């Protein structure tokens, strides 16, 4: 299934008058708006293959219907998203949930939707039917070299598959840790994990990056072996220049100042990328911007400031990915909302009067600093993001068009009502 150009055009025509009025106002208000729109057009956010179905919780799962059952259908779903918003032109795969059978066919299907392959994700947090050893007590940290080797080999296999698809990064998230005090020798677990990561690192092709994702808790609740940004940075530093820290917004202890973490990692040249999502309690994996849009904006404030200071290209300098899971919303509608929230936060960060902010900081004019930030945050940037979308052939109102075209109904028609997407 594809969304046709004329379907988008018909929808956009109806939205044109309202949009033009709003955009004309923004054009008068904002200096340098064209430059901002150019940046928005280039900015792409990768969609994780596991976010296209209903995730559920350990208490149950309620199928949404019409979910993709294989990699081809996942690519098709992201193709639909990208046709609507023109900002989700990449897919992040998960092995073994998405093993391609025919690489060339998968590559040409993806490129027919204008999609690239973003970071590959390995999985040593579940046991697979055909594997010799269990990950019950960890993978790269395990006391048994046999288990570690199995996990190392899996990661190297994921790199190999990524190479075949044209990806250039590996994200390693480890469930490794311990549930009870005394279970683990912390130094032993760290050393084992480091040595294992070194073997994986040695298998990275030139131009490849490895992202070490940290998480404070879950599934282990006493210690996690890559538990916070300090530990991730320690691994990334010891590994070398191809290794970076990945920040998943849901992986911190409560009230952590994520924007400050982001700022310092970026300063050190060790920020690799993001898993965007939102949360109220823990790793809730909710829609980006649904709980703490101001936090998302403050993160982008640090990103824009820090990347500009380093002369980095916003679009290509870091890995921009979503990591989400859905229990009650249509996954595609949810992802449209996440992408929109990220684009809005980015736009608002681009609107900040940086010179004035720097001057106010130098003068310790605290109230003025807040005024400057909130002036940007309180700007309704929707018409700007909409303009960028319209210029690249996207829909004026993606969710509205998704519903008007009855896309979910059609997917249910072709895939069935009771579906289980492969993944979490
Ligand atoms: C787990 O909590 C991490 O966020 C992972 O990045 C991700 O959710 C997982 O790799 C999906 O399989
Ligand atoms: Zn994540
Ligand atoms: Zn997570
Ligand atoms: Zn998460």
Mean pLDDT score, 265-278: 98
Give, in degrees to the nearest 5, the angle at Cα 383 between 369 and 27: 75
Q: What is the ipTM of this complex?
A: 0.96
Handedness of CA 416, 422, 423, 424 (dihedral sign): positive
Pairwise CA distance, residues 280 & 266, whole Å: 25
Q: Mean pLDDT in the chain?
A: 97
Mean pLDDT score, 319-345: 97
Confidence of residue 234 (pLDDT cuts 50, 70, 90): very high
Count CB atoms within 10 A of the CB of residue 320: 23
Nearest CA, atom 1, ligand 1? 173
Query: Which of 158, 175, 176, 213 is the best mutation target for the ligand 1 pocket, counting ligand atoms within 8 Å of the beta carbon and taking the most?
Result: 213
pTM, two decimals, is 0.97
Nearest CA, atom 8, ligand 1? 323
- pLDDT for 326 equals 87
Per residue in 173-216, pLDDT (tens digit) is 999 999 999 999 999 999 999 999 999 999 999 999 999 999 99
Query: Which of 245, 275, 277, 323 is the best mutation target for the ligand 1 pocket, counting ligand atoms within 8 Å of the beta carbon and taking the most?
Result: 323
Intra-chain end-to-end CA distance of the chain, in Å: 25
Q: Which atom of ligand 1 is nearest to the CA of 323?
A: 8
pLDDT at 424 over 70: no
Contact 63, 89 (CB under 8 A): no
Burial of 48 (0-12, 13-18, 19+ CB in 10 A): buried
> What does the DSSP assignment read for 267-293?
HTT-EEEEEE-B-SSSS--BPTTSS-H
Which among 240, 250, 302 is positioned nearest to 270, based on CA atoms? 240
Mean pLDDT score, 244-256: 98
Q: Could you tell me the distance, in angstroms and rounded to a whole number, from the CA of residue 399 to the centre of ligand 4? A: 23
5-415 maps to CATH 3.20.20.150: yes
Q: Could you tell me the distance, in angstroms and rounded to a whole number, from the CA of residue 108 to the centre of ligand 3? A: 30
Q: Which atom of ligand 1 is nearest to the CA of 283?
A: 2
The better pLDDT of the pair 373, 424 is held by 373
pLDDT at 419 over 80: no
pLDDT at 112 over 80: yes
Pseudo-torsion of CA 224, 228, 229, 233, nearest 10°? -30
76: left (phi > 0), else alpha (psi -120 to 50), else beta? alpha
Query: Domain map of the chain by residue range?
Result: 5-415
From residue 401, give the alpha-carbon distance in Å to each of 4, 85, 87, 89, 394: 12, 11, 16, 19, 10
pLDDT at 423 over 80: no
Q: Could you tell me the distance, in angstroms and rounded to a whole number, from the CA of residue 75 to the centre of ligand 4? A: 21
The pair of structure tokens assigned to 182 is 């005394």
- pLDDT for 422 equals 59
pLDDT at 59 over 80: yes
- pLDDT for 80 equals 98
- pLDDT for 77 equals 98
Name every protein residue with a CB atom under 6 angstroms from any ligand 1 atom: 50, 94, 121, 173, 213, 215, 248, 275, 283, 323, 424
Which among 79, 115, 162 is positioned nearest to 332, based on CA atoms? 79
Handedness of CA 388, 288, 121, 53 (dihedral sign): negative
Which among 131, 141, 341 is positioned nearest to 235, based on CA atoms? 141
Pairwise CA distance, residues 271 & 243, whole Å: 9
The pair of structure tokens assigned to 61 is 């799962």
Per residue in 14-42, pLDDT (tens digit) is 999 999 999 999 999 999 999 999 999 99
Mean pLDDT score, 328-352: 98
Nearest CA, atom 3, ligand 1? 173
């Amino acid at each position: 299934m594809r969304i046709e150009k004329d379907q988008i055009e018909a929808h956009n025509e109806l939205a044109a008058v309202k949009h033009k009025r709003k955009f004309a106002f923004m054009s008068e208000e904002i200096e340098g708006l064209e430059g901002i729109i150019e940046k928005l057009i280039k900015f792409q956010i990768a969609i994780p293959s596991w976010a296209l179905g209903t995730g559920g919780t350990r208490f149950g799962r309620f199928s949404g219907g019409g979910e993709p059952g294989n990699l081809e259908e996942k690519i098709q779903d992201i193709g639909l998203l990208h046709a609507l918003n023109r900002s989700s032109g990449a897919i992040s795969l998960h092995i073994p949930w998405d093993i391609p059978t025919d690489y060339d066919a998968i590559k040409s299907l993806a490129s027919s939707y204008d999609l690239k392959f973003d970071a590959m994700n390995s999985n040593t947090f579940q046991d697979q039917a055909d594997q010799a050893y269990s990950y019950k007590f960890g993978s790269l940290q395990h006391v048994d070299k046999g288990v570690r080797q199995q996990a190392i080999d899996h990661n190297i296999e994921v790199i190999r598959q990524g190479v075949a698809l044209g990806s250039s990064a590996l994200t390693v998230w480890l469930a490794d840790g311990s549930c009870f005090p005394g279970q683990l020798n912390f130094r032993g677990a760290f050393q084992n994990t480091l040595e294992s990561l070194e073997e994986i690192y040695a298998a990275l092709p030139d131009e490849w990056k490895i992202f070490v994702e940290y998480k404070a808790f879950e599934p282990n609740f006493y210690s996690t072996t890559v538990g916070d940004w300090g530990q991730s940075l320690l691994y990334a530093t010891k590994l070398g220049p191809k290794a970076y820290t990945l920040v998943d917004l849901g992986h911190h202890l409560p009230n952590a100042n994520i924007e400050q973490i982001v700022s310092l990692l970026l300063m050190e040249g060790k920020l690799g990328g993001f898993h965007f999502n939102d949360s109220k309690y823990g790793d809730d994996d909710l829609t980006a911007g649904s709980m703490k849009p101001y936090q998302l904006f403050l993160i982008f404030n640090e990103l824009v400031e820090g990347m500009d200071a380093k002369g980095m290209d916003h679009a290509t300098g870091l890995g921009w990915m979503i990591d989400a899971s859905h229990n009650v919303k249509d996954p595609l509608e949810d992802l449209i909302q996440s992408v929109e929230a990220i684009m809005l936060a980015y736009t608002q960060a681009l609107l900040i009067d940086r010179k004035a902010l720097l001057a106010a900081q130098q003068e310790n004019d605290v109230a003025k600093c807040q005024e400057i930030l909130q002036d940007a945050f309180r700007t309704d940037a929707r018409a700007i993001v909409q303009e960028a979308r319209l210029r690249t052939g996207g829909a004026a109102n993606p969710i509205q068009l998704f519903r008007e075209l009855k896309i979910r109904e059609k997917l249910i028609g072709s895939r069935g009502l009771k579906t289980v997407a492969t993944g979490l």
